[in-house]
Amino acid sequence: MTETTEKPGVLVDLADVAVHFPIKRGVVLDRTVGYVYAVDGVSLQIERGETYGLVGESGCGKSTLGRAVLRLERPTGGKVVFDGVDLSGMKGEPLRRMRRRMQMVFQDPLSSLDPRQSVQSLLFEGMRAHGLGSDRKAADKRLRELLSAVGLPSTSLRKYPHEFSGGQRQRIGIARALSVGPDLVVADEPVSALDVSVQAQVLNLLEDLQSEFGLTYLVIAHDLAVVRHIADRVGVMYLGGIVEESPSDDLYEEPLHPYSKALLSAVPVPDPVVEDEREQILLSGDLPSPAAPPSGCRFHTRCPWRQPARCDTERPVLRELKPGHRVACHYAEEIRDGRLKPHEVTAEAVNPADFGDLDITATPSS
């Protein structure tokens, strides 16, 4: 166990974290023929009590990064420090003890809950796994309090997961995560399986619980509106790396990285006048495979502002352009000030409401 020095307010500190999955071939020898660079050099810090939102296209590495934070995935490089303790090489009992302080809430509450267990036994099981709940009476009282905190009646304890609606099941998933008293909750697409009408209720619940229990959140979502609703700060991920990080309002008002600009410009605006005048940023091509990421700036194959030579060869690092607003682009200032113009594009962009399936197919003419 390595103690590290850092700012007292920081709960999660990732330094150059990488998770590379080997690609195996061959029946007998099981050779490694390459790697999926799912997470490749992520450094970020999450302050105690804040909500950090992580957004990006499907397959860019969000879930893998979330799992690396909880050490459910062992990083192949870099450091994962939780509350001053380096988890990177930790295993066995010390890791299990740390895990109690970090819990996960999943996208599909049903698939993460055993259908044959009553809510009571599901919640007890979670507590017992961490050596809690031996005093049955006290544990019972805690469960009732938790259920009430997530807005469910205590009669729910005797019911089974299929007897609840999607929103209620997510409330059970949240209660289960909170039953062990964590400091950090990683919520991976916590509302994407829910009806839009229920999404806001669950997000509001997460916010209420955060202040009640002093929680820190890492919220992963492909829906920019969800992240805007809940996050204090947002990290935009592209092909295993963070390309922009900023206070939430700042990012939505003035995205500075070409990729974030394109994402936000693809989200429809409710005001028809603004919608008509809005300029869409069109991208060419598909998301490259994380098994063969482009050289230099990973976004160069789709970037409308790409400059020859440097963009193709030198990977940009995150640089602070405004307080707390970091961007990984060699030409961020020139683009922001309009000194560099995007290349012409010839086709119309698709206008996806969310970029989970982002398909911006226009091709630049130059």
Ligand X SMILES: Nc1ncnc2c1ncn2[C@@H]1O[C@H](COP(=O)(O)OP(=O)(O)OP(=O)(O)O)[C@@H](O)[C@H]1O
Segment 240 to 299, residues that bind ligand SF4, using CB under 6 A: 258, 297, 299
Residues 289-348 that bind ligand X (CB under 6 A): 290
> In the stretch 134-173, what mask flags binding to ligand SF4 with x, by CB under 6 A?
----------------------------------------
Q: Which of 36, 146, 219, 360 binds ligand X (CB under 6 A)?
A: 36
- Candidates 51-59, 109-117, 158-166, 329-337: pick the segment binding ligand X (CB under 6 A): 51-59
As measured in angstroms, the least distance from the Cβ of 199 to ligand X is: 17
Q: How many Å apart are CA 220 and CA 188, to the nearest integer?
A: 5
Question: What is the footprint of ligand X within residues 277-296 (CB under 6 A)?
Answer: 290
CA-to-CA distance for 126 and 25, rounded, in angstroms? 38
CA dihedral 128, 134, 136, 141 (to 10 degrees): -70
Q: Which of 12, 17, 18, 38 binds ligand X (CB under 6 A)?
A: 38
In which order are the strands placed within the sheet that holds 216-220? Answer: 102-105, 184-188, 216-220, 51-55, 233-238, 241-247, 325-327, 319-322
Exactly one of 330, 349, 355, 360 binds ligand SF4 (CB under 6 A); which one?
A: 330
Q: Considering the rule CB under 6 A, would residue 21 count as an interface residue with ligand X?
A: yes
Q: How far is the CB of 328 from ligand X (least distance, A)?
A: 17
Nearer of residues 249 and 357 to ligand X, judged by Cβ: 357
Task: For ligand SF4, give the closer residue by CB, 74 or 310.
Answer: 310
The type of residue at 258 is P
- Strand arrangement of the beta sheet that strand 85-86 belongs to: 31-47, 10-25, 77-82, 85-86
Identify which range of 2-10, 100-108, 324-332, 349-357 contacts ligand SF4 by CB under 6 A: 324-332
Within residues 48-107, the interface with ligand SF4 by CB under 6 A covers none
Q: What is the DSSP string of 220-280?
A: E-S-HHHHHHH-SEEEEEETTEEEEEEEHHHHHH---SHHHHHHHHTSPPSSHHHHHHPPP
